[in-house]
């Protein structure tokens, strides 16, 4: 299933009249879901991933699909593809609290060199590039909820800064390629997203709380739990991203669910939904952890006619089932 980058790319028989999309980070949580969505929309797809945080299990169901192929490649190295690519969805990046500490250099390199290479490919192919940016560009915000015109409150030298600044640079170089080279670009600022295929041990509250609750282990809340998050189910997010990719909007657009809740409330919700006997314990808050996070999606509603539809209860049902299945199979 895995092909080297230098191997001659084959022309997919059923893809001749189809738009061809490249997904960097294509074996990751969001990359694999956008792949499924695009295939269902009639695209042919090339997935690209170095598998540093991606997982081939996320795309195993695509084996044998004539409209899909996987290329094992690190996008911080030059990207050489012979295909006439129409869209590039640049999702490659470590993107969890664990990664900030364990993969800081790789996180910075993929935000800088990886984005540069993806933009270079877009320029050469005359493709439209969508950059997967993040609400982390707002840092620990002093404006609430966060609108796209807010410049953020980021500590550039803190442990979280590697991800925040990588994405801020990625946005900047994306706009530079748009303005100077005329590359068609789109930028999505993704807020907290959850769903099946999340990495179980990536340090985020959704997989952490669910796995702890299902195992009846203590649910670990950092700080006093008063910090807030807004959780968007992955299918809503993917629909918003696709709508942005098809729009004429070149400036950053927030995509997320504006329903805000405290981390402690979320822990209690997970414990209840999992019928768990877990106790909730508290540990010190990590450095520069955002105290509030809530998207203002006025722009997405106006420009994209998009807003989230999946309720937290609905999204948690399938997400909890996914992690329960991993536990039942002995993978957790």
Supply the residues annotated as catalytic. Answer: 163
Q: Which two tokens stand for residue 40?
A: 């269902």
Phi, psi (deg, nearest 5) at residue 274: -90, 0
Q: How many CB atoms lie within 10 A of CB 264?
A: 18
Quick one: which H or E segment has residue 281? strand 280-283
Q: How far apart are CA 72 and CA 205, in angstroms?
A: 29
Q: How far apart are CA 214 and CA 324, in angstroms?
A: 7
Residue 40 in contact with residue 58, Cβ under 8 Å? no
Please count the helices (runs of H) and the strands (runs of E) in the chain. 10, 14
Phi, psi (deg, nearest 5) at residue 290: -60, 135
Q: Please give the biggest Cα pair distance in the chain.
A: 58
Q: Which residues contact 123 (CB under 8 A, 6 or more apart)?
A: 177, 181, 183
Residue 148 in contact with residue 302, Cβ under 8 Å? no
Q: Which two tokens stand for residue 208?
A: 């952490």
End-to-end CA, the chain: 25
């Amino acid at each position: 299933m895995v092909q080297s980058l230098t191997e001659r790319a084959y022309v997919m028989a059923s893809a001749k009249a189809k738009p061809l999309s490249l997904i960097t980070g294509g074996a990751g949580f969001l990359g694999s879901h956008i792949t499924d969505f695009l295939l269902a929309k009639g695209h042919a797809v090339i997935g690209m991933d170095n598998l540093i945080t991606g997982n081939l299990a996320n795309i195993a169901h695509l084996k044998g699909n004539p409209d899909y192929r996987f290329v094992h490649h690190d996008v911080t190295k030059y990207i050489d593809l012979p295909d006439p690519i129409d869209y590039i969805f640049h999702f490659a990046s470590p993107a969890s609290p664990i990664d900030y500490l364990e993969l800081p250099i790789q996180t910075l390199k993929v935000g800088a060199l990886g984005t540069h290479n993806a933009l270079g490919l877009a320029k050469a192919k005359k493709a439209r590039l969508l950059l997967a940016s993040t609400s982390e560009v707002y840092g620990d915000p002093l404006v609430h909820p966060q609108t796209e015109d807010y410049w953020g409150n980021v500590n550039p030298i803190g442990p979280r800064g590697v991800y925040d600044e990588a994405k801020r640079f990625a946005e900047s170089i994306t706009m530079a390629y748009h303005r100077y080279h005329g590359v068609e670009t789109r930028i999505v600022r993704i807020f907290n997203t959850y769903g099946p295929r999340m990495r179980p041990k990536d340090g985020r509250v959704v997989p952490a709380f669910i796995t702890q609750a299902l195992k009846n282990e203590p649910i670990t809340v950092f700080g006093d739990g008063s910090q807030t998050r807004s959780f968007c189910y992955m299918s809503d997010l993917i629909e918003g991203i696709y709508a942005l990719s098809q729009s004429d909007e070149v400036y950053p657009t927030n995509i997320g669910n504006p329903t805000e809740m405290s981390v402690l409330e979320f822990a209690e919700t997970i414990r209840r939904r999992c019928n768990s006997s877990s106790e909730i314990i508290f540990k010190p808050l990590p450095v520069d952890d955002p105290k509030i996070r809530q998207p203002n999606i006025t722009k997405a509603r106006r420009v994209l006619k998009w807003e989230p539809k999946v309720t937290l209860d609905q999204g948690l049902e399938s997400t909890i089932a996914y992690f329960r299945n991993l536990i039942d199979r002995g993978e957790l």
